[in-house]
Amino acid sequence: MSKKREDIEKNILFALYKYYLNDITFERVAEDANIPIYFLVRYVNDNNLPIVHTEKDITDGVRRVVELMKTKHMDVSCLIPVQS
C-alpha cells in the first residue's frame, strides 16, 4: 500500500473512531478525513462498519475500527481507551 493511501486510510479510521465515540455526523467524518462522503460510505460498507443506531453499534464500530487499524499495523496507542 502506498504511503499516501495509508495516510488516507488512517485519517478515515481516526475520524470514524471519533464518529463512534462523539456522535458526529457522517458529513463531519468525511470532512475530518478530507474525503468525499460517497467514498466514506463505500469504505464503511466495504469494511463492514456499522452505522450508529444503537449502543451495540457504537461498541461494534469501535471494535471494528481498532481491529482494522491493528490489521493494517497502525498505531492504536493514541486512541482513547473504551471501557466495555
Note the pLDDT tens digit of each residue in 55-70: 999 999 999 999 999 9
CA angle at residue 43 from 34 to 7, to 5 degrees?
45
The residue ranges of every structural domain in the chain are: 3-71
User: Which regions of the chain are under pLDDT 50?
Assistant: 84
Q: What is the pLDDT of residue 65?
A: 96
Nearest CA-CA partner of 50 in 71, 68, 69, 65: 65
Please state whether 4 falls in left (phi above 0), alpha (psi between -120 and 50) or beta.
alpha
pTM: 0.88
Q: What is the pLDDT of residue 8?
A: 92
Q: What is the pLDDT of residue 82?
A: 57
